[in-house]
Structure 1
Amino acid sequence: MRIITGSAKGLQLKAPRGLNTRPTADKVKGSIFNILGTRVLDAAVLDLFAGTGNLGLEALSRGASKAIFIDNTSTVIIKENAAHTNLLGKCDIYRADVIRAMDKLTQQGQSFDLIFCDPPYNQGYVGQVLGIIDRPALLHSTGIMVLEHSRHESIDYPWKNISIKRSERYGETMVSFITKKQE
């Protein structure tokens, strides 16, 4: 696992040992960022269930302005990877329950241009996360959320404020691109 392009191009990232993790493969990450294109430039990024920090750090390497990383276990790895890529100065890293942290960020009125979310598969997090994203605040009105989920998890709920713009399948993994509905 490495940073594909930008200021930290080619640098390898550490992954936690012994934990049941599935970092985003370079091929899938490359596809995600090809789809996002220039939307990454100067973006405020939120990386939920951040794991290694792989996606948020790739965004920073490609020109995002800042990133908040939230994970309930692997913040030490994220910090090491951010330091290794010389991107630590653009990072805020929090060890917290992701759902509670999202609620807190919403209450604080924070808004993000780009949100990455890669929760544990088939554990009910997808619906909870999208329920919060469906509220008016956390995802900027012109922002995009990149949600990795199992192909067995449905995300086609009757959402009031968000819509699925695109979904791509990579084996068992689905990557869905979610935006705010435009009036």
Structure 2
Amino acid sequence: MRVIAGKAKRIQLRTIEGLETRPTTDRIKETLFNMVNNRLLDCDFLDLFSGSGAIGIEALSRGAGSAVFVENNKNAMECIKHNLNVTRLADRGKILLMDAVSAIRALEVQGRVFDIIFMDPPYNHLYEQQVLNALRNSGIVYCDTLIIIEASKETDFDYLEESPFHIIKEKIYKTNKHVFIEPIQSA
């Protein structure tokens, strides 16, 4: 796995061993970043369920102003630290060793607001629904925040009909999908 474009282009990234994380393939990562490239420059990026940190690091490499990495696996956190150091992007990255919902609350207290929130939770456990519920009235989200969820193809998002969010786009791959969500603008 490597950084695809930007300042850290071609630098190899470390992943944690085992089946606890599923690194996003370079091809899917490239497709994702081609879709959001116009929103990256100087943005504040939140990478939930960070794994190796590859998505947040790609965002930093392509011009994001800052990235917060949230991961509750200590081995993955060490991997993120290593990858930030090897790409020389550590000065723009912050790492939180905690679960996603706790991190959202901690970031609210700090007064943080994010332009892009990416999450790649373990598939088919409804963690994305829990996170979206936490984001529902959260101060880290504003009217133009883009929320991107990497999920299994089978993941159902019908519950969004009863939420302040709506799907603006879906990109389906062979085994998974990216769902792009924004807050519903109030009239």
TM range (shorter): over 0.9
- The structure 2 residue matched to 1:180, chosen from 180, 183, 187, is 183
The structure whose residues are more often strand, as a share, is: 1
Measure how far apart 1:159 and its partner are.
3.8
- Stretch deviating more after TM superposition (136-145 or 171-180): 136-145
Partners of 2:69 and 2:119 in 1: CA distance:
10
- The structure 2 residue matched to 1:95, chosen from 79, 86, 97, is 97
After superposition, the C-alpha distances for 1:154-180 in whole angstroms (9 at most, x for unaligned) are: 112124321110011112211011111
Partners of 1:44 and 1:178 in 2: CA distance:
17
Judged with a 3 Å threshold, the aligned counterparts in structure 2 of structure 1 residues 61 and 20 are, in CA distance, closer, same or farther, namely same
Structure 2 residue identity aligned to 1:134: R
- Indicate if the aligned counterparts of 1:136 and 1:161 stay in contact, CA closer than 8 A: no
Partners of 1:136 and 1:103 in 2: CA distance:
8
Q: Equivalent residue of 2:185, what SS?
A: coil
- The structure 1 residue matched to 2:174, chosen from 167, 171, 175, is 171
Measure how far apart 1:142 and its partner are.
1.0
Structure 2 residue identity aligned to 1:173: N
Structure 1 residue identity aligned to 2:167: I
Q: Equivalent residue of 2:69, what SS?
A: strand
List gaps (5 residues or longer) in structure 1.
Answer: none
Per the alignment, residue 130 of structure 2 pairs with 128
List gaps (5 residues or longer) in structure 2.
Answer: none
Would you say how many aligned residue pairs link Structure 1 and Structure 2? 183
Taking only the aligned residue pairs, the percentage that are identical comes to 39
Q: CA RMSD in A?
A: 1.3
Q: Equivalent residue of 1:142, what SS?
A: coil
- Indicate if the aligned counterparts of 1:43 and 1:65 stay in contact, CA closer than 8 A: yes
Measure how far apart 1:139 and its partner are.
2.1
Answering whether residue 30 of structure 2 is matched by residue 9 of structure 1, we say no
Judged with a 3 Å threshold, the aligned counterparts in structure 2 of structure 1 residues 160 and 19 are, in CA distance, closer, same or farther, namely closer
Structure 2 residue identity aligned to 1:178: I
